[in-house]
């Protein structure tokens, strides 16, 4: 792309300079012969750029498509942006601020949201950027190939300390990553925190595991489609669970009354992530759960 630009820019500049010197006015009364353009020539410089640009388009679209198609077997990290910091939650319960530790050579998937305004997660070295929008989850993934410390920037203007909302991605070699994980998370795994919260908020009084409650059972629900009362079917994913907690009447599961109260304002974005991790773990008994504690890079790969 750079070279194409340089070539085209160079050729046009040379042409203009050549004409500019060759056809300078030599006589004040000089009036050059008019020229009639041929349509064939015009067609050439319409059609050729068209095909060149369509080529560029296809190339760019291919990269873009892969970028927003997260792989199945990735390490999950949840990200919450906030004026003016980045908060990370690993499935094993590790929490970090403005610093994210990941192992080299593994795919990492980020599920992101924000507590306030729009931010944008930008790691120039990885060529990735994704806006972090309040009220929804956005995702991005990457696979670091070289250990090191890489800049993380907020790219969407977000207020006074926008330029202070920067951090680091620490890409560690596998053994070092193990050691870092070994440091342990004080509060237990993410889904364990979610389970606690599930009881504190009394979600379990309606969403009973055996399906006899006033709300649907959440055992095995995550990742599968569900029939709604309005006849539609939706996949139970992060976005749907989030919406069902903050705005429960929007999409009610068929066969249940719309009696669930909203929890908007009662649970923070980070707690929402914990609840989602818990509900997810119910569908994936030895999946994300087993990543908790000392589970390492290799083990996660097997369990997914």
Partner 1 sequence: MNIEVVEQAPRTHYLNATYGLKSWLLTRDHKRIALLYLGSVTFFFALGGMFASAIRLELLTPQGDMMQAETYNRVFTMHGIAMVFFFLIPSIPATLGNFLVPLMIGAKDLAFPKLNLLSWYIYNLGALFTLIAIVTGGVDTGWTFYTPYSTTYSNGNVLLTGVGIFITGFSSILTGLNFIVTIHTMRAPGLTWFRLPLFIWSNYAASLVMVLGTPVIAITILLLAVERVAHVGIFDPALGGDPVLFQHLFWFYSHPAVYIMVLPAMGVISELIANMTRKNIFGYRFVAYSSLAIAVFGFLVWGHHLFVSTQSVYAGMVFSILSYAVGIPSAVKVFNWTATLYKSSISYNTPILYAFGFIGFFIIGGMTGFFLAALGIDVHVHDTYFVVAHFHYIMVGGTIMGYLGGLHYWWPKITGRMYPEGWARFAALVIFVGFNLTFFPQFLLGYMGMPRRYYAYPPEFQVLNVMSSAGASILGVGYLVPLIYLAWSMRYGPKAVSNPWGAFGLEWQTSSPPPTENFKETPVVTWEAYEFRPRHEAEVIDITRH
User: 129-168: which residues touch partner 1 (CB under 8 A)?
Assistant: 129-131, 133-136, 138, 151, 153-164, 166
Separation CA 192–CA 195 (nearest Å)? 5
Site for partner 1 in 55-94 (CB under 8 A): 56-57, 59-65, 67-68, 83
Separation CA 270–CA 115 (nearest Å)? 9
For partner 1, give the closer residue by CB, 3 or 212: 3
Name residues whose C-beta falls within 8 Å of residue 71's C-beta, 6 or more positions apart in sequence. Answer: 107, 109, 141
For partner 1, give the closer residue by CB, 150 or 180: 150
Site for partner 1 in 195-234 (CB under 8 A): none
Separation CA 19–CA 35 (nearest Å)? 15
Binding residues with partner 1: total (CB under 8 A): 79
Q: How far is CA 273 from CA 79, 143, 181, 197, 285, in A?
A: 9, 23, 20, 11, 18
Crossing angle, helix 269-282 and helix 190-200, to 10 degrees?
100
* Exposed / middle / buried, residue 145 (Cβ in 10 Å: 0-12, 13-18, 19+): exposed
CB of 289 to partner 1, least distance (A): 29
CB of 298 to partner 1, least distance (A): 31
CB of 163 to partner 1, least distance (A): 4
3 binds partner 1 (CB under 8 A): no
45 binds partner 1 (CB under 8 A): yes
Q: Which among 9-17, 203-211, 223-231, 255-263 is the span making contact with partner 1, rule CB under 8 A?
A: 9-17
CB of 180 to partner 1, least distance (A): 24
CB of 198 to partner 1, least distance (A): 24
Residue 138 C-alpha from the chain's centroid: 4
Site for partner 1 in 247-266 (CB under 8 A): 264
For partner 1, give the closer residue by CB, 49 or 175: 49
Separation CA 135–CA 116 (nearest Å)? 9
Q: Which among 30-38, 72-80, 186-194, 292-300 is the span making contact with partner 1, rule CB under 8 A?
A: 30-38
For partner 1, give the closer residue by CB, 133 or 174: 133
Separation CA 83–CA 104 (nearest Å)? 29
13 binds partner 1 (CB under 8 A): yes
**267 contacts 200 by C-beta, under 8 angstroms:** no
Neighbouring CB atoms inside 10 A of 32's CB total: 7
Site for partner 1 in 100-119 (CB under 8 A): 116-118
């Amino acid at each position: 792309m750079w070279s194409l630009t340089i070539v085209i820019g160079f050729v046009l500049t040379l042409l203009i300079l050549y004409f500019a010197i060759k056809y300078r006015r030599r006589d004040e009364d000089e009036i050059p012969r008019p020229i009639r353009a041929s349509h064939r020539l015009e067609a050439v410089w319409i059609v050729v750029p068209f095909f060149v640009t369509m080529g560029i388009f296809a190339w760019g679209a291919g990269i873009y498509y892969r970028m927003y198609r997260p792989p199945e077997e990735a390490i999950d990290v949840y990200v919450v942006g906030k004026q003016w910091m980045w908060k990370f939650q690993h499935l094993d319960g590790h929490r970090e601020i403005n610093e994210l530790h990941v192992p080299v050579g593994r795919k990492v998937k980020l599920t992101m949201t924000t507590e306030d305004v729009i931010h944008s997660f930008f790691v120039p070295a990885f060529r990735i950027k994704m806006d972090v929008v309040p009220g929804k989850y956005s995702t991005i993934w990457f696979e670091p190939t070289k250990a090191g410390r890489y800049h993380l920037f907020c790219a969407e203007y977000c207020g006074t300390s926008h330029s202070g909302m920067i951090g680091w991605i620490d890409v560690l070699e596998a053994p070092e990553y193990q050691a870092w994980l070994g440091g342990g998370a004080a509060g237990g795994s993410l889904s364990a925190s979610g389970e606690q919260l599930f009881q504190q908020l009394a979600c379990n009084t309606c969403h009973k595991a055996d399906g006899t409650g006033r709300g649907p059972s959440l055992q095995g629900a995550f990742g599968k489609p569900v029939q709604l009362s309005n006849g539609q079917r939706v996949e139970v994913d992060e976005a749907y669970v989030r919406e069902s907690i903050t705005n429960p009447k929007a999409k009610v599961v068929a066969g249940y009354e719309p009696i669930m109260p909203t929890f908007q304002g009662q649970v923070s974005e980070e707690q929402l992530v914990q609840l989602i991790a818990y509900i997810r773990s119910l569908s994936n008994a030895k999946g994300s759960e087993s990543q908790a504690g000392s589970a390492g890079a290799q083990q996660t790969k097997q369990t997914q």
